[in-house]
A and B are shown apart, each in its own frame.
Chain A
Amino acid sequence: MNSVIPIIPIAATNPIDIQSLVQPDRVHKRVYTDPAIFELEMDRVFGQAWIYIGHESQVPKPGDYFTTRLGREPVVMVRHTDGQVHVMFNRCPHKGAKLVPDGSGSAGKFLRCLYHGWTFKCDGSLLSVPLRSGYECTALDLKDPQYGVRKVARVATHRGFVFASLSEDGPELKEFLGGVATSLDNFCDRAPEGEVEVAGGVQRVVQRNNWKIFFENLHDTIHAVATHESSWRAAKEEHESMPAGTPKPFEVVIVDGNGEPLEFWEKLELKGYDHGHGFMEGIFVPPTDPVSLAYVASLEAAKGAERTDEILRVNRHNTIVYPSCSPHTSFQQIRVIRPLSVDRTLVEIFSFRLKGAPEATFQRTLKYTNIVNAPSSNVMSDDLEAYNRVQEGLGSDGGDWVSMHRAAGRDQPLPGGRASNGNSEMPSRNMFAAWAGYMGVDTSTQTGSAE
C-alpha cells in the first residue's frame, strides 16, 4: 500500500508530522503531551474504534438510560420499548439541550426535552413537538429523520457488553475484538447462569496523565515490584505479624502479589492482538478458601465439573480492549478509560455480579475493587504517582523519545496477533502500532528506529 504521509496542519505554524513521532520501538514524547495530538486522537482513534459504552444490565427496563462519553461526545444508552438498546448523542435536535441529565435513571415511555418539550421515542425518533402548526409550510419537516435524536453510527453487543463506533466503516465488533473476545466470554462463562450484571456502584478516579500512559501500564509487569514496594511490603509485614501458620488472607494475597520477582513475571505470557488489544495471564493461583470453594461448587452445579474446569482454567489478569476499557475477568470488573485532556484521564471502575453465584463471591469482587481500584487504594496511589511523574518528566526538555525496546523483535506470531514473555514491552508497541494506524500513519515502510 502506498499511502500519502499525513502532514496535518493544526495551525498554520504548527503542522504535525505524525509519521515522524512513532517508530516500531520508540515514540516521541509529543504523543503524550501535545494538546493538538489529543484532539486528533479524539477524531481519529475514538472516532473510528469500537468504544465500550456500558453493559445492557445498566438499562434493564424500557426507558432506562445511562449516559457516558464516547471520546469527546456525550452519549446516552437507552433501552427502547421493543427491548433493543440504542446509543445516541445526548443532544436535543431542536436547540441542542442535553436530552437526559448525566448519570442513569428512567425516562419513562419516552424522552422529553426539558427546554421546549419535544418528545422522542426511546429509539430517538421524533414523537411530537408543541405548536406543531407553527412548522407547517416551513423548511423544517418533522417527518425528516434528521429531526430525531442523532444515533451514533454503529452499535453492537458482545455477551451484553455494548460497544459503539462513530464511524460507518471499519471491522464488525467481533472482528475488532479478535482474540480478546475470549476474555469477555470467560467473564460471562464464570457465572453459573452464563450472564453478569453491573452492581454495587461505580468508583471514579482522576489521573493526572495522558490516557495512553495508563493503558501501557496495564501490561507493564516489571513496574510492580518497584512501584508497589510500599504496599507489597506492608502486606507481607502484616502477614508476618500474624501467628505462625495463619493462612494468607485474601486482602494480603491481592496486594503482596506485586512483590513477585522479575523472573515470576518473565514466565507469564502476554498476548497482543490487532487493533491494540491484548491480555496477560492470571497472576493469582485460584484460591481454595471457603468463599472460592462455594463459588466453584455453584459453577459445577450449573455446568458440570468438566466445563467448570475448562472455564476456570482461563485465568487472566488485565485484558486490554483498546482504546476504551480493561476487563478483569477473574475479579469481575471493568475499568473504563475516558480521556479528559492531554494530561488528565478519568477511570471508572464498574463491578459485576455473576448471576447465580453466591453473594459472597460478589462481596469479594467489591473487596478487590475497594482495595485495588478505589481512589483510596494503597496500590494505585503509587501508580498514580508514577504516571504523574512520567507526564511531568515528558514535559521537560530532558529528552525527546520514550523507549519501548525491551524484548523487541522477539515476539512469537499468533493468529491475529503476537505473543511475548511477561517482561516484554510488546503490549506498548502493539498499542502504538494500532494507534499509528488510526492516526493515518503508513507503517508499512517502517523498519526500525533511526537516530
Chain B
Amino acid sequence: MNFRDWNEQQDLTQFLHHEARLLDEHRWDEWQKLFTPDGLYWVPLVHGQVDHLNHASLFCEDALLRSMRARRLEQARAYSQQPPTRTVHVLGNIALESRDDDATCTVRSTFLLLEWRKTEQRTFGGSVLHTLRRADDGWRIQTKRIDLVNCDAPHEALQVFL
C-alpha cells in the first residue's frame, strides 16, 4: 500500500525517527507517552508468532511493565547498567502496510541497532510493525511489534527497549 501523499510519508517517517531518537537518548518518559494507554510493546520469540498471550516472548510489555523497566534503568544500583547500555537505531524501508481508517494505520520498517555494553558491540536487526492511532497532538503507538531476524537464537541479557 502506498502513502497517500508526500505529507503523509513525511509525517509517519518523522514519527518513527523521533521514536528511535527518544530510545537512543534514554528519554524513557517521553517514549512511554507515545503509547496509547493500552498500547503493547512486543518482541516475539519465534518467527511468525501470532500470539503474545499463549506463547513466550522476548519482550511483551504493557504500560506497567514498560514503566517498571524504565524505572529500573534509572536506579543507581542497576548493576548490569554500569555503565548504561548505549544504542543507535538506523531505520529504513519505511512503508505503509495498511490503513484501517483515517485515524489508524500500520507502518512497516526495518532497522539495525548497534548496542554497546561494557566491552562489546552487539548488532540487532529486523523489521518493525507500528500500529498507530492518531491523537489530537500526533500519533500514538497501539502496538509496536519487533521481529528480530535472530529472535529464536540464544541471547545474552536484553536490557533496553529495542
Chain A residues close to B by CB (< 8 Å):
199-208, 227, 229-231, 233-235, 237-238, 241, 249, 251-252, 255, 346, 349, 351, 359, 362-363, 366-367, 369-371, 374-378, 380-382, 384-386
CB < 8 Å: which of B45, B68, B154, B159 contacts A201?
A: B45
The interface-forming segment of B8-16, B54-62, B135-143 is B54-62
A-B contact pairs, 9 of them (CB 8 A): A200-B54, A230-B79, A238-B68, A363-B53, A369-B56, A374-B59, A381-B159, A382-B79, A385-B79
A227 touches B60 (CB 8 A): no
Q: Which residues of the other chain, B, contact A205 by a CB distance below 8 angstroms?
A: 154-157
B57 touches A230 (CB 8 A): no
The interface-forming segment of B17-25, B70-78, B98-106 is B70-78
CB < 8 Å: which of B46, B57, B156 contacts A384?
A: B156
A366 touches B68 (CB 8 A): no
B54 touches A204 (CB 8 A): no
A381 touches B154 (CB 8 A): no
Q: Which residues of the other chain, B, contact A349 by a CB distance below 8 angstroms?
A: 56
A204 touches B154 (CB 8 A): yes
Q: Which residue in chain A gives the minimum CB-CB distance to B56? A: A201
Given contacts A230-B75, A238-B64, A238-B68, contact A380 B157 (CB under 8 A): yes
A295 nearest CB across to chain B (Å): 16
Given contacts A200-B55, A351-B56, contact A378 B64 (CB under 8 A): no
CB < 8 Å: which of A206, A241, A370, A378 contacts B72?
A: A378
Tell me whether B153 is interfacial, beta carbon within 8 Å: yes
B65 touches A251 (CB 8 A): yes
Q: Which residue in chain B gives the minimum CB-CB distance to A256? A: B68
A366 touches B79 (CB 8 A): no
CB < 8 Å: which of B72, B75, B155 contacts A375?
A: B155
CA distance A382 to B80 in the complex (A): 5
Tell me whether B86 is interfacial, beta carbon within 8 Å: no
B69 touches A378 (CB 8 A): yes
Q: Which residues of the other chain, B, contact A249 by a CB distance below 8 angstroms?
A: 64
A201 touches B53 (CB 8 A): no
CA distance A154 to B67 in the complex (A): 49
B45 nearest CB across to chain A (Å): 5
Q: Which residues of the other chain, A, contact B60 by a CB distance below 8 angstroms?
A: 367, 370
B154 touches A206 (CB 8 A): yes
Q: Which residues of the other chain, B, contact A241 by a CB distance below 8 angstroms?
A: 67
Tell me whether B1 is interfacial, beta carbon within 8 Å: no
B54 touches A363 (CB 8 A): yes
CB < 8 Å: which of B56, B59, B68, B79 contacts A227?
A: B79
Given contacts A200-B54, A249-B64, A362-B54, contact A384 B157 (CB under 8 A): yes
In addition to A234-B69, A370-B59, A375-B157, 4 A-B residue pairs with Cβ atoms within 8 Å of each other are A205-B155, A370-B56, A375-B58, A384-B157
Given contacts A251-B68, A381-B80, contact A202 B56 (CB under 8 A): yes
A389 nearest CB across to chain B (Å): 8
Q: Which residues of the other chain, A, contact B69 by a CB distance below 8 angstroms?
A: 234, 378
Tell me whether B128 is interfacial, beta carbon within 8 Å: no
Residue of A229, A378, A386 most packed against chain B (CB within 10 A): A378
A234 touches B72 (CB 8 A): yes
Q: Which residue in chain A gives the minimum CB-CB distance to B53? A: A363
Q: Which 5 A-B pairs have the closest CB atoms?
A: A230-B78, A234-B71, A385-B80, A204-B154, A230-B75
Q: Which residues of the other chain, A, contact B77 by a CB distance below 8 angstroms?
A: 229-230, 233
Tell me whether B129 is interfacial, beta carbon within 8 Å: no
Tell me whether B132 is interfacial, beta carbon within 8 Å: no
CB < 8 Å: which of B46, B56, B67, B155 contacts A206?
A: B155
B127 nearest CB across to chain A (Å): 18
Tell me whether B43 is interfacial, beta carbon within 8 Å: yes
CA distance A65 to B67 in the complex (A): 41
Q: Which residue in chain A gives the minimum CB-CB distance to B75? A: A230
B71 touches A237 (CB 8 A): yes
CA distance A363 to B46 in the complex (A): 17
CA distance A231 to B77 in the complex (A): 9
CB < 8 Å: which of A208, A229, A234, A362 contacts B156?
A: A208
Residue of B56, B57, B82, B155 most packed against chain A (CB within 10 A): B56
B72 touches A201 (CB 8 A): no
A248 nearest CB across to chain B (Å): 11
CA distance A374 to B53 in the complex (A): 15
A370 touches B57 (CB 8 A): yes
CA distance A241 to B156 in the complex (A): 31
Q: Which residue in chain A gives the minimum CB-CB distance to B59? A: A376
Q: Which residues of the other chain, A, contact B43 by a CB distance below 8 angstroms?
A: 376
CA distance A30 to B53 in the complex (A): 44
A241 nearest CB across to chain B (Å): 8
B91-122 vs A, Cβ < 8 Å mask (1 yes, 0 no) = 00000000000000000000000000000000
B158 touches A375 (CB 8 A): yes
B75 touches A234 (CB 8 A): yes
CA distance A366 to B157 in the complex (A): 18
B136 nearest CB across to chain A (Å): 25
